[in-house]
Amino acid sequence: MSERIIPQPRRPRLYALDGLRLVAALAVVVFHFVGYDHFGYQGAWHKPTGVVFPTLHSIASYGWLGVEFFFLLSGFVICMSCWGRSVRDFAVSRVMRLYPAYWCCVLLTGVALRLNGDTTMTPERILTNLTMLHEPLGVGHVDPVYWSLWAEMRFYLIFSVVVLMGLTYQRVLGFCAIWLVGAVLAPASGLSLLVTLFQPTYAPFFVGGILMFLMYRFRPGPLLWLMLGASWLLAQHQLLILVNEEGGWSAHLRLSWTVGVALVTACYAVILAIALGRLTFLNRRWLVTAGALTYPLYLLHEELGWLVIGRLAGRVAPEALLAGVVLLMLLGAYLIHRLVERPLASRLKTWLTLPVPVRRGPGASTAA
């Protein structure tokens, strides 16, 4: 790790990444409404999604890869956003970014499900979900999509160690190397704590995003290329497991590992092209708004979308209902962003960054 590093001048915001986040979210939305078939004949459409959408179902069944795309983007964006910042700044930014929209969506979804007759949606379950730590506490999700938030939280936890030390090229590269090795060795250790911490299934995606950010900020040297290749190789290996899980359990369809690898490779390729300055024509300022909808859309869409579909399926044409529900979820995401996320995040920032009061002794000077 002794490559000579040539820092690049500070570059403008990569608006294209905001657009890619929305693409990833919409892929997951379509997967849940069209590709997901775990409920069979008891699902929201009252029949298998493969029957309702015989052509689109087989395509949408790969939409779960939008989460892996999210993880790649997260590695890139988190590293970029906290470069040169303190660990306190990092923690405050994560709280501001994650919790306001999340609290709103947990309450909306939990109350809606409870009113719809879901007796498992107890006040205790809803309140514990508000911590975003309900999964390690053994409490069920209010909405199944929350599972990925625990993966993100673990990434933030271990990356905060490097932020605490101060982000440099060598430290971040060392972090990536240690995480990849740890992800390989953790399952063989037999220690569930190491598996939880290193999360072998998703580590290659987070690391891949970080490495591509290093290529963006610094020159893409040989060591970065080698480690990015290792990240991709480990990612394709994990797809052997993921394709079987999502295909057999979620989609009731035999998914192709080859198609999965091709899609993951495309995800790597588009982020890499942006990092290397090859897609500058995609940098459009309006994509910031598109990116702002991503998180509330992801949090809001699944359970509430199924409730709407379940009420209207059979009375509205499937294609029209699908389009209407997606647009409704986008509208809901926009309203949450404007009316809840932005104002509450601003107040949280003000509150969390207040100076710590110093308690003075009886004889201490009151001079500043």
Please say whether the beta carbons of 143 and 157 come within 8 A: no
Segment 181-202 shows an average pLDDT of 94
Percentage of the chain with pLDDT > 90? 74
Amino acid identity of residue 247, one-letter, is G
Please say whether the beta carbons of 228 and 264 come within 8 A: no
The answer, yes or no, to whether residue 297 has pLDDT greater than 80, is yes
5-19, 161-175, 178-192 — which is least confidently predicted?
5-19
Specify the higher pLDDT residue, 7 or 24: 24
Please give, one letter per residue, the 3-state secondary structure of the chain.
CCCCCCCCCCCCCCHHHHHHHHHHHHHHHHHHHHHCCCCHHHCCCCCCHHHHCCCHHHHHCCCCHHHHHHHHHHHHHHHHHCCCCCHHHHHHHHHHHHHHHHHHHHHHHHHHHHHCCCCCCCHHHHHHHCCCCCCCCCCCCCCHHHHHHHHHHHHHHHHHHHHHHCCCHHHHHHHHHHHHHHHHHHHHHCCHHHHHHHCCCCHHHHHHHHHHHHHHHCCCCHHHHHHHHHHHHHHHHHHHHHHHHHHHHHCCCCCCHHHHHHHHHHHHHHHHHHHCCCCHHHCCCCHHHHHHHHHHHHHHHHHHHHHHHHHHECCECHHHHHHHHHHHHHHHHHHHHHHHHHHHHHHHHHHHCCCCCCCCCCCCCCCC
User: What pLDDT is recorded for position 359?
Assistant: 64
41-55, 117-131, 229-243 — which is least confidently predicted?
41-55
User: What pLDDT is recorded for position 14?
Assistant: 86
The answer, yes or no, to whether residue 6 has pLDDT greater than 80, is no
Segment 136-140 shows an average pLDDT of 95
User: What pLDDT is recorded for position 281?
Assistant: 81
Q: Report the C-alpha gap between 233 and 110 in whole angstroms.
A: 40
pLDDT band, residue 353 (cuts 50/70/90): confident
32-46, 120-134, 328-342 — which is least confidently predicted?
32-46
User: What pLDDT is recorded for position 354?
Assistant: 79
pLDDT band, residue 358 (cuts 50/70/90): low
Specify the higher pLDDT residue, 252 or 97: 97
Burial of 127 (0-12, 13-18, 19+ CB in 10 A): middle
Specify the higher pLDDT residue, 279 or 74: 74
C-alpha to C-alpha distances, 206 to 97, 151, 264, 279, 291, nearest whole angstrom: 18, 10, 13, 22, 19
The answer, yes or no, to whether residue 294 has pLDDT greater than 60, is yes
The answer, yes or no, to whether residue 3 has pLDDT greater than 80, is no
User: What pLDDT is recorded for position 366?
Assistant: 45
